[in-house]
């Protein structure tokens, strides 16, 4: 991603906060020299530096993704900036946006218990605290059955790029 110096964010904690608050990302990879992308929710493990997610099993992107570096893009607010907002008419319009790019390699999670734990964390993050829905022992066999229809994964974050207006 092109990042002018004055928009560069390198503070990992700030970038992690952004990912936590904008955790629906786009995972890009290649298959037969053709770009592929999936829109997915992600969970960030700050301590270990991993992003966790899952594909629906029929989404074949998971079948070839382990042998390459992938990119996950997280987007935030964005807006058109009119030249009329500047004090001079010697300007051009632009677009301001906030984005984070995370790079790494995907590891498929095979262990069913790890898959279920990942889903429990995902539901805990997004479910309204007042909701009565929970992944627990009362629906464990149902959840385990559904878990067989997904392919869970984790990605060690090797590199991060953050871009937004500082200050």
DSSP-based three-state secondary structure for 105? strand
Q: What's the mean per-residue pLDDT of the chain?
A: 91
> Per the domain annotation, does 119 fall within a domain?
no
For residue 36, the model assigns a pLDDT of 97
Say which range, 40-54, 74-88, 127-141, has the weakest mean pLDDT: 127-141
Partners of residue 154 on adjacent β-strands: 52, 107
**CA 77 to CA 75: how far, in whole Å?**
7
In a domain, 138, yes or no: no
Q: How many CB atoms lie within 10 A of CB 89?
A: 7
**Mapping DSSP to helix (H, G, I), strand (E, B) and coil, where does residue 33 land?**
coil
Query: What's the number of domains the chain is made of?
Result: 1
In a domain, residue 63? The reply is yes
Residue 121 forms part of a structural domain: no
Tell the burial category of 67 from Cβ atoms under 10 Å away from its Cβ (0-12, 13-18, 19+).
Answer: exposed
The answer to whether position 123 is within a domain reads no
Question: What is the span of the domain harbouring residue 106?
Answer: 5-111+151-163
Is 127 a domain residue? no
Answer yes or no: are the C-beta atoms of 16 and 162 closer than 8 Å. Answer: no
Note the pLDDT tens digit of each residue in 45-79.
Answer: 999 999 999 999 999 999 999 989 999 999 998 88
146 within a domain of the structure (yes/no): no
For the ranges 69-78, 106-115, 117-126, the lowest mean pLDDT is seen at: 117-126
Q: Which CATH number covers residue 107?
A: 2.30.110.10
pLDDT of residue 89: 75
Task: Establish if 134 belongs to a structural domain.
Answer: no
The pLDDT, as a whole number, for residue 47 is 95
DSSP SS3 for 146: helix
């Amino acid at each position: 991603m092109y990042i002018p110096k004055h928009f560069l964010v390198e503070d990992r904690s700030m970038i992690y906060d952004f990912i936590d608050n904008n955790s629906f990302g786009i995972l890009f990879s290649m298959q037969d020299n053709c770009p592929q992308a999936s829109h997915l929710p992600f969970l960030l493990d700050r301590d270990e530096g991993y992003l966790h997610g899952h594909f629906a099993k029929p989404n074949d992107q998971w079948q070839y993704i382990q042998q390459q570096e992938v990119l996950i893009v997280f987007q935030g607010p964005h807006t058109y900036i009119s030249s009329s907002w500047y004090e001079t008419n010697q300007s051009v319009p632009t677009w301001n946006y906030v984005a984070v790019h995370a790079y790494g390699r995907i590891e498929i999670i095979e262990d069913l218990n790890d898959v279920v734990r990942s889903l429990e964390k995902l539901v805990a993050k997004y479910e309204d605290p007042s909701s009565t829905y929970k992944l627990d022992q009362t629906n464990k066999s149902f959840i385990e059955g559904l878990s067989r229809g997904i392919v869970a994964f984790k990605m060690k974050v090797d590199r991060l790029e953050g871009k937004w207006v500082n200050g």
